[in-house]
Amino acid sequence: MAQSQTAQRNPIFNYENGLLLILGISFGFAFFDRNAASVLTPYITKEFGLTNTQVGLISSMLSIMWALGAYFIARWSDANGNRKPFLLAFLIIFSACSFLSGLAQSYPVLLISRMIMGAVEGPFLPVCLAIMALESSPHRRGVNAGIMQNFFAALLGQSLAPALLPMVAESHGWREAFFLSGVPGLICAVGVYFWVREPSKEAQASFHAPVEDAADAGQKMGILDMLKVRNVLVCCLIAMFMVGWFVMGWAFLPNYLVTVRGVSGETMGALLSVLGFASAVAGFGAPFLSDRIGRKPVMIGFCLVGALTALGAMYFQGSNVILGTMLFIGWLASGTFPLFMGVIPGESMPRKYAATAMGLVVCVGEIAGGTLLVYLAGVLADATGSLSSAILMMAACGAIGCVLCFFLVETAPVKVRAVGAQGVPAKAT
């Protein structure tokens, strides 16, 4: 039976690859929708007369709802045992929220529409990763998660959205840009309906986390129980600092390059465009390596270079080409996100709690890192009167994330099998 399953996965046009394509594109457009309000802020502000506080609230409230939805709705999905109905509901609701954003005639309506969108987009990733883990070949589990999460999100959310939506807003208006951003999600819902199948009981029975614990006996696990699993706790801490590192980069680097380093807006855009390409490359590069040499060394190595983005922006005084190269290399740290948000917690937990564990990591990262640490970085910059403080804090987050990676327990199947062959059991608690 195992041989027939392997044979079915060998052709290029098989279910595993088709599932990866559909889920990857779907999450990419979810990220596209998430970034739409940020990209369209200048146009919205002009019509509604928004303050900086109101603008910031749109992003922060979406992040908080994304975080809460990632845990609670993903947990509901685990308890329900079905994944596909949740995916369809998520796609339809966040597409509807894009249309509602375009129809908004007041700031409160716009804010509420973004909050609802965050609540359903947050659990979208954990549920997709849980399905992908069950349907992936063991030697592709990491790279599939990386391609699904990082590659398409970078391509669509970080590259296409900033390029396309302002063009539509300039020629037709920001409302029409929101309408446009809602269409792909509905198309993806059709693709999910016809192609994605509910993971079979056979697939769920054949999947086992490389690291098992007593929870497999059937007892219920709450948040505190999950945090007793070492890898889940460490991944939550890594998420706190690495998500903070990521959001600080997008929040403060543009203004820092223009106001402190004195580069033109066009040069700033060119320099930061490399971040999207770095995310795309690292999105499958880091997980690919982790499938072959292990999760832990890849996490350590890629997080280590993360500080280079901030330090290069602050201290390098040479050509912009070299600076762009440094930013690119540093931003390769984003390739660790599929590992600590999805692959490692998923491999460290019984399958019935995989999406919940992933959602918990995302929740902690978004609230503690993407909201609280980024807010503190802004407060620090205001208190010192220098954006350099925020950039240094970004570098510190990358460095701390690297140190935390040393506390991970290896879960890559190739490494766990090697340890097992030597008669040494792997433990995650």
Q: What is the 3-state secondary structure (H, E, C) of the chain?
A: CHHHHHHHHCCCCCHHHHHHHHHHHHHHHHHHHHHHHHHCHHHHHHHHCCCHHHHHHHHHHHHHHHHHHHHHHHHHHHHHCCCHHHHHHHHHHHHHHHHHHHHCCCHHHHHHHHHHHHHHHCCHHHHHHHHHHHHCCHHHHHHHHHHHHHHHHHHHHHHHHHHHHHHHHHHCCHHHHHHHHHHHHHHHHHHHHHHCCCCCHHHHHHCCCCCCCHHHHCCCCCHHHHHCCHHHHHHHHHHHHHHHHHHHHHHHHHHHHHHHCCCCHHHHHHHHHHHHHHHHHHHHHHHHHHHHHCHHHHHHHHHHCCHHHHHHHHHCCCCHHHHHHHHHHHHHHHHHHHHHHHHHHHHCCCHHHHHHHHHHHHHHHHHHHHHHHHHHHHHHHHHHCCCHHHHHHHHHHHHHHHHHHCCCCCCCHHHHHHHHHCCCCCCCC
Q: How confident is the model at residue 218 (pLDDT cuts 50, 70, 90)?
A: low
pLDDT at 6 exceeding the cut of 70:
no
CATH 1.20.1250.20 boundaries in the chain: 1-207, 209-429
Q: Could you read off the pLDDT of 7-35 as tens digits, one per residue?
A: 344 566 788 888 889 999 998 898 888 87
The CA distance from 286 to 301, in Å, is: 10
pLDDT in the model for residue 214 = 42
pLDDT in the model for residue 138 = 74
Q: How confident is the model at residue 2 (pLDDT cuts 50, 70, 90)?
A: very low
Q: Could you read off the pLDDT of 182-205 as tens digits, one per residue?
A: 999 999 999 999 988 877 655 555
Query: What is the arithmetic mean of pLDDT over 77-84?
Result: 78
pLDDT in the model for residue 10 = 52
What is the CATH code for 209-429? 1.20.1250.20
pLDDT at 305 exceeding the cut of 90:
yes
Q: Could you read off the pLDDT of 264-274 as tens digits, one per residue?
A: 766 776 787 78
Topology classification of domain 1-207: Growth Hormone; Chain: A; (1.20.1250)
Mean pLDDT score across all residues of the chain: 82
Q: Could you read off the pLDDT of 101-143 as tens digits, one per residue?
A: 999 999 999 999 989 998 988 888 888 888 887 787 777 877 7
pTM above 0.75, yes or no: no
Q: Could you read off the pLDDT of 203-217 as tens digits, one per residue?
A: 555 555 454 444 444
